[in-house]
Amino acid sequence: MKRLVIAIDGPSGAGKGTLARTVAERLGYRHVDTGAMYRAVAWKAAHEGLPLDDDAQVSELARRAKYEQADGQITIDGHDVTRAIRTPEIDKASASVARLPHVRQILVDQQRALGAGGAVVMEGRDIGTVVFPQADLKFYIDASPEERARRRAADPAHTGSPSNIATVQSNLVARDKSDSTRSVAPLAKAEDAIYIDTTSMPIDVVVHRVLMLVAEKLEG
């Protein structure tokens, strides 16, 4: 059977994480959250007191760090940062780190290595455009800013507790701008990606649609 590379991109709060995890589990594929890699590097850099805009120092940290992601747990150099990287502070820090060209190249190389054998569902913001432009299937998951803010505000994994929707939406808009205007690998929909607006679509419907398209690809 074919071992597909499935790329899932989109902005924060659109539902790509839940979708990627669920699809990977259903297929028996590996799930790779590339955003968590940038978050872990940002956490480690902040922990070591490094300037988050210093490409040389942060890229060297990224190069030597041992990063692992398995069974929902994320570690970097032996530190379990699963919860620590899901905060508004790390949101901002990872956005800064993600703009650094050498950091991106190091992590993109690692991501390509993780998906080299196929049988992987990889989520992020540049998977279908940069990391795996030849992915077997590409999806761009989106939702209205208001819906994304509502979901993120209600998710204690990111905020620690239910948060003010207006504040969360303001932060998401800032992150969207940072991601879409950065000079290296900006957030963008690949030309051949399948666009899915999840604003009013239950996650089980999104999962079913994606799995149907995967089945068609496997049969083809």
Tell me the per-residue pLDDT of 113-141, one tens digit each, with 9 for 90 and over.
999 999 999 999 999 999 999 999 999 99
Report which residue type is found at 72.
G
Most confident by average pLDDT, 56-60, 71-75, 155-159:
56-60
Order of strands across the sheet that contains 5-9: 30-33, 120-124, 5-9, 137-142, 194-197
- Spatial distance between the Cα atoms of 202 and 200, rounded to a whole number of angstroms: 7
pLDDT classification of 154: cutoffs 50, 70, 90 = confident
- Spatial distance between the Cα atoms of 90 and 103, rounded to a whole number of angstroms: 16
Residue-level pLDDT at 28: 96
Higher-confidence residue of 149 and 51: namely 51
When the pLDDT of each residue in the chain is averaged and rounded to a whole number, the result is 92
Contact indicator for 13, 172 with CB cutoff of 8 Å: yes
Ordered structural domains, the chain, with CATH = 5-219 (3.40.50.300)
Query: What length does the chain have?
Result: 220
Tell me the per-residue pLDDT of 108-117, one tens digit each, with 9 for 90 and over.
999 999 999 9
Contact indicator for 187, 53 with CB cutoff of 8 Å: no
pLDDT at 7 over 90: yes
